[in-house]
Structure 1
Amino acid sequence: MRAFRDAFEDLVLGGRCAGCERPGVAVCAGCRTLLSTATPFHAWPDPVPAGLPRPAAAAQYGGAVRGLILAHKEHARYSLAGPLGEALAAAVRLSLEPGRAGWLCPVPSPRATVRQRGHDPLRRLTVAAARRLRRQGYDVRLADALAVVRRPADQSGLSAQERAANLAGAFEARSRWAERLTDQPVVLVDDVLTTGSTLAEAGRALSGRGIPVLGCAVVAATARRAAPGS
């Protein structure tokens, strides 16, 4: 069925791969393989923001991976949620023991941003990742446990320290989730890790309500990382 759909898109829509811009389907076989065969790694940023739960990434952020993430997020290429969600699931597995139950908590975007995009890309990826993990024997569920309570300024061009200050107090745990998740294992998820400030602040909002955060997982991480094993 996938091959039939891809051929239809190629013939009728005249599309291009969002990763490499090759004429054809939304994600070509090569870029799909790039995501599915990537080796997840612990992606500590350098410097490491205080309180950052142990971060895992499925791939490096750049090239075709960057193109796929941006096409899904900014241009609503919904068909990319499957392969990107599969990559996110691979990163989540570094935080969960085989067969262990857990909750996946996406870092929320401000409502205005969601309205502007016309969709919630990270939530869609989280749903796809959870579906993939359940097929692999993990008992995982989605937890919309965080809310944006203060919209940060644009992060572009800010240093790691400035990003941390900009994000301070931006999130809080939703009251209806706080009791449900007390002492329950949670993995924070996002699409991209740059300085780690967003995930660190989200983690503080959860841990401050007694919700243990096992780690955080992203589709891709930038190259601003500490040496492996640090």
Structure 2
Amino acid sequence: MQGVWRELAGLVLPVDCAGCGRPRTELCARCRRALARDGRGPRRVRPWPVPAGLPRVWAGAPYADEVRAVLLAHKERGALRLAGSLGEVLAGAVRGLCGGSPQLLVPVPSARRAVAGRGHDPVRRTALAAARELRRSGGAARVLAVMRQRRAVSDQAGLSARERLANVAGALEVPGASGRLLTGRSVVLVDDLVTTGATLAEAARAVRAAGGRVTGAAVVAAPRSAFALEEAAAVSLPRGG
């Protein structure tokens, strides 16, 4: 019900831009450009160190400034209509990863207590918006929200990369009949943000344990350092041969 009331309030109450605070616009043109990386589009990203089992990851925008503000407004402050704009960015990351081939998107789950507190599941909402955008542009995409947390995890904020890996190890699963829906199928993991890659590596493990094949992962945003590391790696690759 919290989500319903927030959507109704957004229709009748004046809003400010979620990215920069400009009045009377939910998302201004400048912040829309920031979400689109000012025209540079999605890129493959690489956290460091790379955790074992992490698939290829593509991100739509750097997690900084306006992009960070928009993600937090959607996730923590219930600005639910931003899911459409964030879904467009996520759809771009999916296209970068997979081209135009049909996609089965599996969102990384939020903890039940977090969903109850926020009144919605931001990653699932954004994934659904991304699938709509992919279908609108002629692609075939659907969301299968079959993953869940099998045990509680600590807040990841402030943890090192090694601590994050230990925190989420074995924390996700695709249970029972849900797992059979993934057997032999190619899956794209989706999330709003990648930092160390620990959660995506654990999500990939859970999908593989259920018999699915992980094509890669797509996220709305990643730290600038993750963009820079992948770009540096691409430059250093030998040419030809």
Q: Same fold (TM over 0.5)?
A: yes
Whether the 8 Å CA contact 1:38–1:58 is kept in 2: the answer is no
Whether the 8 Å CA contact 1:38–1:59 is kept in 2: the answer is no
Cα offset, 1:144, TM superposition: 0.9
Cα offset, 1:156, TM superposition: 1.3
Instruction: Say which is worse superposed, 41-50 or 12-21, in terms of deviation.
Output: 12-21
RMSD: 1.6
CA–CA separation in structure 2 for the residues paired with 1:126 and 1:224:
24
- 1:78 corresponds to: 80
Superposition map of 1:28-67 within 5 A? 28-36=28-36, 37-67=39-69
Whether the 8 Å CA contact 2:111–2:149 is kept in 1: the answer is yes
- 1:16 corresponds to: 16
Cα offset, 1:38, TM superposition: 4.6
Superposition map of 1:202-217 within 5 A? 202-217=203-218
Secondary structure of 1:204's match?
helix
Superposed CA deviations along residues 87-124 of structure 1, whole A, max 9, x for unmatched, are: 000001122232x2221010001111100111111111
Taking only the aligned residue pairs, the percentage that are identical comes to 49
Cα offset, 1:151, TM superposition: 1.1
Secondary structure of 1:27's match?
coil
Q: Which runs of 5+ in 2 are unaligned?
A: 1-9, 235-241
CA–CA separation in structure 1 for the residues paired with 2:48 and 2:186:
26
Whether the 8 Å CA contact 1:187–1:213 is kept in 2: the answer is yes
- 1:128 corresponds to: 129
TM score, norm. by length of structure 2: 0.87
Secondary structure of 1:95's match?
helix
Equivalent position amino acid for 1:92 in 2: V
CA distance change for structure 1 residues 87 and 227 in 2, over 3 Å: closer, same or farther? closer
Superposition map of 1:1-230 within 5 A? 13-36=13-36, 37-98=39-100, 100-225=101-226, 226-228=229-231, 229=233
CA–CA separation in structure 1 for the residues paired with 2:144 and 2:40:
26
Whether the 8 Å CA contact 2:45–2:230 is kept in 1: the answer is no
CA distance change for structure 1 residues 38 and 68 in 2, over 3 Å: closer, same or farther? farther
TM score, norm. by length of structure 1: 0.91
CA–CA separation in structure 2 for the residues paired with 1:95 and 1:54:
8
Superposed CA deviations along residues 54-90 of structure 1, whole A, max 9, x for unmatched, are: 0000000010000000000001101111111000000
CA–CA separation in structure 1 for the residues paired with 2:182 and 2:109:
17
CA–CA separation in structure 2 for the residues paired with 1:186 and 1:135:
20
CA–CA separation in structure 2 for the residues paired with 1:35 and 1:227:
19
Cα offset, 1:172, TM superposition: 0.5
CA–CA separation in structure 1 for the residues paired with 2:46 and 2:108:
18
- Paired residues, what number? 220
Q: Which runs of 5+ in 1 are unaligned?
A: 1-8
Whether the 8 Å CA contact 2:161–2:198 is kept in 1: the answer is yes
Cα offset, 1:227, TM superposition: 4.1
Moved over 6 A (4+): none
Whether the 8 Å CA contact 2:182–2:207 is kept in 1: the answer is no
Larger relative helix fraction? 2
